[in-house]
Amino acid sequence: MLSSQRSNQVLQVENLTVSFDGFKAVDNLSLQVERNELRVIIGPNGAGKTTLLDMICGKTRPTSGRVLFEGQDLTRMNEYRIVRTGVGRKFQTPSVYEDLTVFENLEISFPRMHGLFQSLTFKRTPDIVQRIQEMAEQIFLADRLGHRAGQLSHGQKQWLEIGMLLMQEPKLLLLDEPVAGMSPREREQTGDLLSRLAAGRSVVVIEHDMDFVKRIAHKVTVLHQGKLLSEGSAAEVQADPRVIDVYLGH
Protein backbone atom coordinates (compact mmCIF):
# COMPACT_ATOMS: atom_id res chain seq x y z
CA MET A 1 0.00 0.00 0.00
CA LEU A 2 2.65 2.44 1.11
CA SER A 3 4.96 1.66 -1.79
CA SER A 4 2.18 1.97 -4.35
CA GLN A 5 1.24 5.32 -2.85
CA ARG A 6 4.84 6.40 -3.11
CA SER A 7 5.23 5.37 -6.72
CA ASN A 8 2.11 7.33 -7.58
CA GLN A 9 3.69 10.50 -6.25
CA VAL A 10 5.52 12.31 -8.98
CA LEU A 11 6.49 15.36 -6.98
CA GLN A 12 7.39 15.44 -3.31
CA VAL A 13 8.22 18.77 -1.73
CA GLU A 14 9.75 18.12 1.68
CA ASN A 15 10.17 20.78 4.36
CA LEU A 16 11.16 23.32 1.74
CA THR A 17 12.41 26.67 3.01
CA VAL A 18 14.04 29.62 1.30
CA SER A 19 15.19 32.65 3.15
CA PHE A 20 16.00 35.98 1.47
CA ASP A 21 18.01 38.08 3.93
CA GLY A 22 16.25 36.38 6.82
CA PHE A 23 12.75 36.64 5.26
CA LYS A 24 11.26 33.22 4.63
CA ALA A 25 9.41 33.43 1.30
CA VAL A 26 8.68 29.69 1.57
CA ASP A 27 8.66 28.29 5.06
CA ASN A 28 8.94 24.57 5.83
CA LEU A 29 6.51 23.62 3.05
CA SER A 30 5.65 20.02 2.25
CA LEU A 31 3.28 18.79 -0.45
CA GLN A 32 2.90 15.88 -2.84
CA VAL A 33 1.53 15.77 -6.36
CA GLU A 34 0.40 12.53 -7.95
CA ARG A 35 0.70 11.17 -11.45
CA ASN A 36 -1.94 12.65 -13.78
CA GLU A 37 -2.99 15.10 -11.12
CA LEU A 38 -3.97 18.68 -11.85
CA ARG A 39 -3.04 20.66 -8.74
CA VAL A 40 -3.85 24.31 -8.35
CA ILE A 41 -1.92 26.52 -5.96
CA ILE A 42 -3.66 29.63 -4.68
CA GLY A 43 -2.82 32.23 -2.07
CA PRO A 44 -2.64 36.00 -1.64
CA ASN A 45 0.08 38.04 -3.34
CA GLY A 46 3.44 37.35 -1.77
CA ALA A 47 2.36 33.95 -0.42
CA GLY A 48 5.40 32.29 -2.03
CA LYS A 49 3.68 30.59 -4.99
CA THR A 50 6.11 31.73 -7.67
CA THR A 51 9.08 31.15 -5.37
CA LEU A 52 7.91 27.56 -4.89
CA LEU A 53 7.92 26.98 -8.66
CA ASP A 54 11.33 28.70 -8.86
CA MET A 55 12.72 26.14 -6.44
CA ILE A 56 11.14 23.17 -8.22
CA CYS A 57 12.63 24.21 -11.56
CA GLY A 58 16.05 25.10 -10.12
CA LYS A 59 15.91 28.85 -10.63
CA THR A 60 16.14 29.46 -6.89
CA ARG A 61 18.09 27.29 -4.46
CA PRO A 62 16.27 26.41 -1.24
CA THR A 63 17.89 27.21 2.08
CA SER A 64 16.77 23.80 3.34
CA GLY A 65 14.48 20.94 2.40
CA ARG A 66 14.21 18.85 -0.75
CA VAL A 67 12.21 18.54 -3.95
CA LEU A 68 11.93 14.98 -5.23
CA PHE A 69 10.74 14.33 -8.76
CA GLU A 70 10.17 10.63 -9.41
CA GLY A 71 12.47 10.03 -6.46
CA GLN A 72 15.32 12.21 -7.79
CA ASP A 73 16.41 15.25 -5.80
CA LEU A 74 15.95 18.29 -8.06
CA THR A 75 17.63 20.61 -5.59
CA ARG A 76 20.95 18.99 -6.58
CA MET A 77 20.46 19.60 -10.30
CA ASN A 78 20.90 22.68 -12.48
CA GLU A 79 17.96 24.11 -14.44
CA TYR A 80 18.97 22.48 -17.71
CA ARG A 81 19.16 19.04 -16.18
CA ILE A 82 15.81 19.51 -14.44
CA VAL A 83 14.24 20.20 -17.85
CA ARG A 84 15.89 17.07 -19.25
CA THR A 85 14.54 15.08 -16.31
CA GLY A 86 11.02 15.99 -17.42
CA VAL A 87 9.98 19.20 -15.67
CA GLY A 88 8.64 22.04 -17.85
CA ARG A 89 8.09 25.51 -16.39
CA LYS A 90 6.06 28.35 -17.81
CA PHE A 91 6.66 31.79 -16.38
CA GLN A 92 4.00 34.45 -15.91
CA THR A 93 4.83 36.52 -18.98
CA PRO A 94 4.88 34.63 -22.27
CA SER A 95 8.31 34.35 -23.82
CA VAL A 96 8.04 33.36 -27.45
CA TYR A 97 10.20 34.37 -30.41
CA GLU A 98 8.07 37.22 -31.76
CA ASP A 99 9.78 37.35 -35.16
CA LEU A 100 9.42 33.63 -35.84
CA THR A 101 6.22 31.95 -36.98
CA VAL A 102 4.13 29.75 -34.72
CA PHE A 103 5.50 26.76 -36.65
CA GLU A 104 9.10 27.86 -36.12
CA ASN A 105 8.55 28.54 -32.44
CA LEU A 106 7.28 24.99 -31.99
CA GLU A 107 10.04 23.61 -34.18
CA ILE A 108 12.90 25.14 -32.20
CA SER A 109 11.38 23.67 -29.06
CA PHE A 110 11.71 20.15 -30.39
CA PRO A 111 14.19 18.43 -28.06
CA ARG A 112 16.68 17.50 -30.77
CA MET A 113 17.37 21.16 -31.33
CA HIS A 114 19.34 23.05 -28.79
CA GLY A 115 19.05 26.57 -30.11
CA LEU A 116 18.14 28.93 -32.82
CA PHE A 117 21.25 28.31 -34.95
CA GLN A 118 20.85 24.54 -35.03
CA SER A 119 17.18 24.92 -35.77
CA LEU A 120 17.96 26.91 -38.91
CA THR A 121 20.28 24.19 -40.19
CA PHE A 122 18.02 21.40 -39.00
CA LYS A 123 16.38 19.19 -41.56
CA ARG A 124 12.61 19.05 -41.25
CA THR A 125 11.34 15.49 -41.40
CA PRO A 126 7.69 14.62 -42.09
CA ASP A 127 7.20 13.25 -38.59
CA ILE A 128 8.41 16.49 -37.01
CA VAL A 129 6.10 18.51 -39.24
CA GLN A 130 3.23 16.24 -38.27
CA ARG A 131 4.04 16.55 -34.60
CA ILE A 132 4.08 20.35 -34.88
CA GLN A 133 0.72 20.31 -36.66
CA GLU A 134 -0.79 18.09 -33.97
CA MET A 135 0.60 20.35 -31.28
CA ALA A 136 -0.83 23.44 -32.99
CA GLU A 137 -4.24 21.79 -33.02
CA GLN A 138 -4.00 20.98 -29.33
CA ILE A 139 -3.18 24.58 -28.45
CA PHE A 140 -5.86 26.08 -30.74
CA LEU A 141 -3.35 27.55 -33.20
CA ALA A 142 -3.74 25.21 -36.17
CA ASP A 143 -4.82 28.09 -38.41
CA ARG A 144 -1.97 30.31 -37.19
CA LEU A 145 1.05 28.14 -38.04
CA GLY A 146 2.38 30.58 -40.64
CA HIS A 147 1.75 33.71 -38.58
CA ARG A 148 4.52 35.49 -36.77
CA ALA A 149 4.22 34.98 -33.01
CA GLY A 150 4.34 38.75 -32.54
CA GLN A 151 0.95 38.99 -34.26
CA LEU A 152 -0.78 36.68 -31.79
CA SER A 153 -3.05 37.87 -28.99
CA HIS A 154 -1.69 37.68 -25.46
CA GLY A 155 -3.73 34.54 -24.81
CA GLN A 156 -2.52 32.88 -28.00
CA LYS A 157 1.07 33.60 -26.98
CA GLN A 158 0.38 31.88 -23.68
CA TRP A 159 -0.92 28.84 -25.59
CA LEU A 160 2.09 28.87 -27.89
CA GLU A 161 4.44 28.85 -24.96
CA ILE A 162 2.56 25.92 -23.42
CA GLY A 163 2.92 24.15 -26.78
CA MET A 164 6.65 24.90 -26.83
CA LEU A 165 6.98 23.29 -23.42
CA LEU A 166 4.91 20.29 -24.51
CA MET A 167 7.22 19.65 -27.47
CA GLN A 168 9.73 18.47 -24.86
CA GLU A 169 7.16 16.02 -23.44
CA PRO A 170 7.49 17.01 -19.79
CA LYS A 171 6.13 14.62 -17.18
CA LEU A 172 5.48 17.53 -14.86
CA LEU A 173 4.24 20.87 -16.16
CA LEU A 174 4.44 23.98 -13.97
CA LEU A 175 2.33 26.97 -15.03
CA ASP A 176 2.36 30.37 -13.34
CA GLU A 177 -0.97 32.17 -13.86
CA PRO A 178 -1.48 30.96 -17.43
CA VAL A 179 -4.91 32.58 -17.89
CA ALA A 180 -3.96 36.06 -16.66
CA GLY A 181 -5.01 38.55 -19.32
CA MET A 182 -7.11 36.01 -21.23
CA SER A 183 -10.66 36.57 -22.42
CA PRO A 184 -13.44 34.45 -20.84
CA ARG A 185 -13.55 32.28 -23.97
CA GLU A 186 -9.77 31.80 -23.93
CA ARG A 187 -9.95 30.88 -20.24
CA GLU A 188 -12.52 28.24 -21.00
CA GLN A 189 -10.38 26.79 -23.78
CA THR A 190 -7.31 26.85 -21.53
CA GLY A 191 -9.26 25.00 -18.84
CA ASP A 192 -10.10 22.29 -21.34
CA LEU A 193 -6.50 22.16 -22.53
CA LEU A 194 -5.08 21.80 -19.01
CA SER A 195 -7.62 19.10 -18.13
CA ARG A 196 -6.63 17.16 -21.25
CA LEU A 197 -2.94 17.62 -20.47
CA ALA A 198 -3.35 16.22 -16.98
CA ALA A 199 -4.59 12.96 -18.48
CA GLY A 200 -1.01 12.24 -19.56
CA ARG A 201 1.16 14.04 -17.02
CA SER A 202 1.07 15.97 -13.77
CA VAL A 203 0.22 19.65 -13.93
CA VAL A 204 0.74 22.30 -11.26
CA VAL A 205 -1.01 25.61 -11.92
CA ILE A 206 -0.88 28.84 -9.95
CA GLU A 207 -4.16 30.68 -10.34
CA HIS A 208 -6.32 33.32 -8.68
CA ASP A 209 -9.66 33.08 -10.47
CA MET A 210 -11.72 30.77 -8.23
CA ASP A 211 -14.27 29.99 -10.94
CA PHE A 212 -11.44 28.75 -13.11
CA VAL A 213 -9.86 26.90 -10.18
CA LYS A 214 -13.12 25.13 -9.37
CA ARG A 215 -13.47 23.98 -12.94
CA ILE A 216 -10.01 22.47 -13.37
CA ALA A 217 -8.53 21.55 -9.98
CA HIS A 218 -8.34 17.99 -8.76
CA LYS A 219 -6.97 19.37 -5.52
CA VAL A 220 -6.10 22.86 -4.27
CA THR A 221 -3.18 23.90 -2.08
CA VAL A 222 -3.48 27.25 -0.33
CA LEU A 223 -0.28 29.06 0.61
CA HIS A 224 -0.05 31.96 3.00
CA GLN A 225 3.16 33.65 4.14
CA GLY A 226 5.20 30.81 2.71
CA LYS A 227 3.33 28.14 4.62
CA LEU A 228 0.67 25.62 3.73
CA LEU A 229 -2.61 27.05 4.98
CA SER A 230 -5.09 24.52 3.64
CA GLU A 231 -5.39 21.68 1.16
CA GLY A 232 -8.31 19.78 -0.34
CA SER A 233 -10.96 20.04 -3.03
CA ALA A 234 -11.82 23.54 -4.28
CA ALA A 235 -15.05 23.40 -2.28
CA GLU A 236 -13.22 22.27 0.86
CA VAL A 237 -10.61 25.01 0.82
CA GLN A 238 -13.23 27.65 -0.01
CA ALA A 239 -15.18 26.60 3.07
CA ASP A 240 -12.09 26.52 5.30
CA PRO A 241 -12.36 29.35 7.89
CA ARG A 242 -8.58 29.88 7.79
CA VAL A 243 -8.76 30.48 4.03
CA ILE A 244 -11.78 32.78 4.32
CA ASP A 245 -9.99 34.72 7.03
CA VAL A 246 -6.85 35.24 4.95
CA TYR A 247 -8.76 36.34 1.85
CA LEU A 248 -11.13 38.65 3.71
CA GLY A 249 -8.15 40.08 5.59
CA HIS A 250 -6.73 41.18 2.23
Residues that bind ligand ADP (CB under 6 A): 20, 25, 43, 45-51
Contacts of 178 (CB under 8 A, 6+ apart): 90, 158, 162, 190, 194, 205, 207
Closest separation in Å from C-beta 36 to Mg ion? 25
Torsion of CA 33, 170, 205, 186, to 10 degrees: -140
CA distance 83 to 78: 9
> Residue 51 interacts with Mg ion (CB under 5 A)?
no
Selected from 32, 50, 105, 158, the binder of Mg ion by CB under 5 A is: 50
Closest residue to Mg ion, judged by C-beta, is 50
Taking the least distance from each CB to ligand ADP, the nearer of 4 and 45 is 45
Distances (CA, A) of 131 to 136, 159, 164, 200, 245: 9, 16, 12, 16, 48
CB of 29 to ligand ADP, least distance (A): 11
Q: Which partner, Mg ion, ligand ADP, none, binds residue 178 by CB below 5 to 8 Å per kind?
A: none
Q: How far is the CB of 216 from ligand ADP (least distance, A)?
A: 19
- Cβ pair 131, 139 in contact under 8 A: no
Task: Report the nearest approach of Mg ion to the CB of residue 49 (Å).
Answer: 5
How far apart are CB 26 and ligand ADP at their closest, in Å? 7
| 46 interacts with, out of Mg ion, ligand ADP, none, CB within 5 to 8 A per kind | ligand ADP
Whichever of 48 and 155 has its CB closer to ligand ADP, that residue is 48
Q: Please report how close the Cβ of residue 174 comes to ligand ADP at its closest, in angstroms.
A: 12
Residue whose CB is less far from Mg ion, 87 or 206? 206
Stretch that binds Mg ion, among 32-40, 47-55, 193-201, 217-225 (CB under 5 A): 47-55
Considering the complex, state which of residue 123 and residue 250 has its C-beta at the smaller distance from ligand ADP.
Answer: 250
27, 228, 90, 13: CA torsion to nearest 10: 70
Nearer to Mg ion, 50 or 156 (CB): 50
Tell how far CA 89 is from the center of its chain: 5
Positions touching Mg ion (CB under 5 A) are 49-50
